[in-house]
């Protein structure tokens, strides 16, 4: 009788050990700190650790263009242990995900372990920031450049709230950015196409949002974007000119040399769609900004063309290349999108 009791106690003990083990496996980050369940992640859970890579789509579009898909996939590849969060205005929480047969890029990105496609709800995003009063007073459908202006605002608010790295959807990541707090230079100005700040909320970004509202003018192109950054950084830091290829530093922020993200400058953007011999190594760059805004003529990537951009896709976003890039007959539709300049 006593033996039987001991035996059943042992069995119970073993069972509960197994159960506890399962539980710890599920809840701790034994192998990776990525959130275990992809589906019901709110922004807080995903972005809370401040290590996310953030992309934005401020139009209603839910099927990303090949370039957007490449940007997101390449970031997921370069930062496999970090969540890559793609905020889309066209998604909302009650909506079912689009079926994957008709949305190949959407399903390609959803299938990547560390990519999360979540709704962009500007009203709640801007709450508790200087942008809130501006946003509630504005009539979005009457604003000039609204897709870009709302993207400029959203990126400031997201990185202020959660920390992390913001990237435009026409930036192809090629190697990790070794800095946590950085701002890139583009010629003599500062761009807002890529930037990173760790949490907690930095006063610099708060002041950027205040300045955004104070000087808001959607008729001036870039006034809320690169111009805002250049205005603000001049107030905070006396920066000298870059010497050769080295970066600058001021107040714990690294100001990255134009080579890091803009090795091909915007007047030269067509070079990405040309055949090079030999190809540039981009050894001094972390990511490449493809200047999609300049691409009004809708140049795309053609399989077998051996252009620089085709080879970049093949190497840095192989799934996008495999699934979305056609040969010369089936030209991919014009690569447009927003959140990228």
User: Candidates 49-57, 78-86, 122-130, 139-147 — which segment interacts with ligand NAG by CB under 6 A?
Assistant: 139-147
> Which span sits near ligand NAG by CB under 6 A: 125-133, 138-146, 232-240, 299-307?
138-146
Number of alpha helices (DSSP H) and beta strands (DSSP E) in the chain: 11, 11
Q: Which residue has tokens 């600058």?
A: 248
CA–CA dist 62, 95 (Å, integer) = 11
Say whether residue 100 binds ligand NAG (CB under 6 A): yes
Beta bridge partners of 56: 87
Task: Please tell me whether residue 221 adopts helix, strand or coil conformation.
Answer: coil
Kindly tell me which residue out of 95, 235, 275, 333 binds ligand NAG, with binding defined by CB under 6 A: 95
Q: Reduce the DSSP state of residue 109 to 3 states and report it.
A: helix
Name which position in 22, 92, 265, 306 contacts ligand NAG (CB under 6 A).
92
Contacts of 12 (CB under 8 A, 6+ apart): none
**If binding means CB under 6 A, how many residues of this protein chain bind ligand NAG?**
13
Decide if 336 contacts 64 (C-beta within 8 A). no
Nearer to ligand NAG, 141 or 243 (CB): 141
State the pairing for strand pair 182-186/253-256.
Answer: parallel
Distances (CA, A) of 172 to 256, 295, 304: 17, 16, 20
94 vs 136 by CB, closer to ligand NAG: 94
Tell me: does residue 333 bind ligand NAG (CB under 6 A): no
Do strands 189-190 and 182-186 pair parallel, antiparallel, or not at all (unpaired)?
A: antiparallel
Window 140-169: residues binding ligand NAG (CB under 6 A): 141-142
By CB under 6 A, the residues from 68 to 87 that bind ligand NAG are: none
In the region spanning residues 299 to 318, those forming contacts with ligand NAG, defined by CB under 6 A, are none
CB nearer to ligand NAG: give 141 or 188: 141
Omega into 200 within 30° of 0, i.e. cis? yes
The 222-261 site mask, x for binding ligand NAG (CB under 6 A), equals -----------------------------xx---------
Binding mask 260-289 for ligand NAG (x = CB under 6 A): ---------------------x-x------
CB atoms within 10 A of CB 151: 28
Q: Scanning residues 170 to 229, which ones bind ligand NAG (CB under 6 A)?
A: none
Question: Contact between 107 and ligand NAG (CB under 6 A)?
Answer: yes
Handedness of CA 90, 95, 101, 104 (dihedral sign): positive
Write out the residues near ligand NAG by the rule CB under 6 A: 92, 94-95, 100, 107, 111, 139, 141-142, 251-252, 281, 283
């Amino acid at each position: 009788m006593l033996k039987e009791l001991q035996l059943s106690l042992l069995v119970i003990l073993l069972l509960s050990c197994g159960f506890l083990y399962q539980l710890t496996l599920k809840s701790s980050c034994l192998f990776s700190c990525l959130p275990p369940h992809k589906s019901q992640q709110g922004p807080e859970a995903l972005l809370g650790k401040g290590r996310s890579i953030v992309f934005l789509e401020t139009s209603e579009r839910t099927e990303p263009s090949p370039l957007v898909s490449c940007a997101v996939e390449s970031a997921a590849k370069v930062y496999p242990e970090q969540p890559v969060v793609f905020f889309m205005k066209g998604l909302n929480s009650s909506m079912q995900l689009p079926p994957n047969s008709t949305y190949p890029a959407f399903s390609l990105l959803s299938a990547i372990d560390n990519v999360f496609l979540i709704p962009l709800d500007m009203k709640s995003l801007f709450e508790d920031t200087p942008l809130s009063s501006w946003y509630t007073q504005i009539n979005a459908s009457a604003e000039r450049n609204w897709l870009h202006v709302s993207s400029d605002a959203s990126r400031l608010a997201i990185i202020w709230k959660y920390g992390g790295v913001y990237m435009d959807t026409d930036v192809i990541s090629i190697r990790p950015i070794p800095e946590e707090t950085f701002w890139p230079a583009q010629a003599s100005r500062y761009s807002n196409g890529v930037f990173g700040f760790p949490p907690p909320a930095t006063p610099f970004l708060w002041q950027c949002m205040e300045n955004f509202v104070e000087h808001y003018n959607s008729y001036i192109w870039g006034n809320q974007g690169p111009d805002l950054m250049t205005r603000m950084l001049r107030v905070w830091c006396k920066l000298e000119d870059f010497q050769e290829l080295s970066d600058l530093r001021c107040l714990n922020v690294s100001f990255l040399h134009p080579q890091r993200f803009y090795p091909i400058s915007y007047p030269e953007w067509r070079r990405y769609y040309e055949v090079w011999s030999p190809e540039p190594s981009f050894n001094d760059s972390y990511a490449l900004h493809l200047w999609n805004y300049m691409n009004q003529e809708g140049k795309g990537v053609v399989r077998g063309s051996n252009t620089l951009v085709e080879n970049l896709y093949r190497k840095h976003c192989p799934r996008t290349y495999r699934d979305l890039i056609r040969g010369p007959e089936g030209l991919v539709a014009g690569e447009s999108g927003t959140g990228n300049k």
